Amino acid sequence: MTHVDAMRRRKQIAEAVRGGMTAPQATREFGVSANYVRAACSEHNVPCTFARGARHNVPFMVLARLLAGDSRVEAARSVGVCYERARQIEKLARKCGIKLPEREAGK
Protein backbone atom coordinates (compact mmCIF):
# COMPACT_ATOMS: atom_id res chain seq x y z
CA MET A 1 0.00 0.00 0.00
CA THR A 2 1.42 3.35 -1.00
CA HIS A 3 1.42 6.42 1.20
CA VAL A 4 -1.36 7.93 -0.90
CA ASP A 5 -3.42 4.73 -0.60
CA ALA A 6 -2.96 4.78 3.18
CA MET A 7 -4.10 8.41 3.33
CA ARG A 8 -7.21 7.58 1.30
CA ARG A 9 -7.96 4.59 3.51
CA ARG A 10 -7.66 6.67 6.70
CA LYS A 11 -10.00 9.26 5.21
CA GLN A 12 -12.46 6.52 4.18
CA ILE A 13 -12.41 5.11 7.73
CA ALA A 14 -12.94 8.55 9.27
CA GLU A 15 -15.82 9.29 6.88
CA ALA A 16 -17.45 5.96 7.71
CA VAL A 17 -17.29 6.78 11.43
CA ARG A 18 -18.59 10.29 10.77
CA GLY A 19 -21.43 8.74 8.78
CA GLY A 20 -22.62 6.69 11.74
CA MET A 21 -20.46 3.58 11.81
CA THR A 22 -19.25 2.82 15.32
CA ALA A 23 -15.53 2.60 15.93
CA PRO A 24 -15.65 -1.14 16.74
CA GLN A 25 -17.62 -1.73 13.53
CA ALA A 26 -14.94 0.17 11.61
CA THR A 27 -12.21 -2.07 13.01
CA ARG A 28 -14.07 -5.14 11.76
CA GLU A 29 -15.22 -3.64 8.46
CA PHE A 30 -11.79 -2.34 7.45
CA GLY A 31 -9.75 -5.04 9.17
CA VAL A 32 -7.63 -2.59 11.16
CA SER A 33 -6.77 -2.08 14.81
CA ALA A 34 -8.60 0.19 17.23
CA ASN A 35 -5.54 2.44 17.33
CA TYR A 36 -5.62 2.80 13.54
CA VAL A 37 -9.29 3.85 13.65
CA ARG A 38 -8.53 6.33 16.44
CA ALA A 39 -5.62 7.78 14.46
CA ALA A 40 -7.69 8.05 11.27
CA CYS A 41 -10.50 9.82 13.13
CA SER A 42 -8.10 12.12 14.94
CA GLU A 43 -6.39 13.04 11.66
CA HIS A 44 -9.74 14.07 10.15
CA ASN A 45 -11.25 15.64 13.29
CA VAL A 46 -13.95 12.99 13.69
CA PRO A 47 -15.11 12.10 17.22
CA CYS A 48 -14.27 8.48 17.82
CA THR A 49 -15.02 6.52 20.95
CA PHE A 50 -14.75 2.93 22.00
CA ALA A 51 -16.78 1.70 24.94
CA ARG A 52 -14.66 2.08 28.04
CA GLY A 53 -14.43 -0.91 30.30
CA ALA A 54 -15.87 -3.31 27.75
CA ARG A 55 -12.51 -4.94 27.03
CA HIS A 56 -12.45 -6.73 30.38
CA ASN A 57 -15.49 -8.73 29.21
CA VAL A 58 -13.68 -10.12 26.15
CA PRO A 59 -12.45 -13.37 27.77
CA PHE A 60 -15.98 -14.12 28.99
CA MET A 61 -17.48 -13.31 25.61
CA VAL A 62 -14.98 -15.57 23.81
CA LEU A 63 -15.50 -18.32 26.38
CA ALA A 64 -19.28 -18.11 25.94
CA ARG A 65 -18.89 -18.50 22.17
CA LEU A 66 -16.53 -21.47 22.63
CA LEU A 67 -18.93 -23.11 25.09
CA ALA A 68 -21.72 -22.62 22.55
CA GLY A 69 -19.68 -24.70 20.10
CA ASP A 70 -18.12 -21.98 17.93
CA SER A 71 -14.64 -22.56 16.57
CA ARG A 72 -11.82 -20.24 17.66
CA VAL A 73 -12.11 -18.37 14.37
CA GLU A 74 -15.87 -17.89 14.73
CA ALA A 75 -15.53 -16.84 18.38
CA ALA A 76 -12.74 -14.37 17.55
CA ARG A 77 -14.69 -12.81 14.68
CA SER A 78 -17.94 -12.47 16.62
CA VAL A 79 -16.21 -10.80 19.59
CA GLY A 80 -13.81 -8.73 17.50
CA VAL A 81 -10.47 -10.13 18.66
CA CYS A 82 -7.69 -11.90 16.81
CA TYR A 83 -7.50 -15.68 16.48
CA GLU A 84 -4.45 -15.82 18.76
CA ARG A 85 -6.33 -14.13 21.62
CA ALA A 86 -9.18 -16.63 21.26
CA ARG A 87 -6.62 -19.47 21.33
CA GLN A 88 -5.05 -18.08 24.52
CA ILE A 89 -8.45 -17.82 26.20
CA GLU A 90 -9.34 -21.37 25.15
CA LYS A 91 -6.01 -22.69 26.45
CA LEU A 92 -6.46 -20.95 29.80
CA ALA A 93 -10.05 -22.19 30.12
CA ARG A 94 -8.93 -25.79 29.54
CA LYS A 95 -6.06 -25.33 32.02
CA CYS A 96 -8.60 -24.13 34.61
CA GLY A 97 -10.68 -27.26 34.07
CA ILE A 98 -13.46 -25.81 31.95
CA LYS A 99 -14.81 -28.50 29.64
CA LEU A 100 -15.16 -27.09 26.15
CA PRO A 101 -16.81 -28.96 23.28
CA GLU A 102 -14.35 -30.95 21.21
CA ARG A 103 -13.75 -29.54 17.77
CA GLU A 104 -13.14 -31.45 14.57
CA ALA A 105 -9.55 -31.58 13.36
CA GLY A 106 -8.52 -28.36 11.63
CA LYS A 107 -10.93 -26.11 13.49
Number of domains observed in the structure of the chain: 2
Phi-psi region of 97 (alpha: psi -120 to 50; beta: other; left: phi over 0): left
pLDDT at 9: 94
pLDDT along the chain (107 residues), means of 10: 92 92 88 90 85 69 91 86 91 93 65
Does residue 16 form part of some domain? yes
Cα 75 from Cα 64, distance rounded (Å): 9
Do 79 and 60 sit in the same domain of this protein?
A: yes
Does residue 7 form part of some domain? yes
pLDDT at 94: 92
Does residue 87 form part of some domain? yes
pLDDT at 79: 79
Segments forming the whole domain that contains residue 22: 3-43
pLDDT at 52: 55
Cα 39 from Cα 50, distance rounded (Å): 13
pLDDT at 90: 94
Do 38 and 68 sit in the same domain of this protein?
A: no
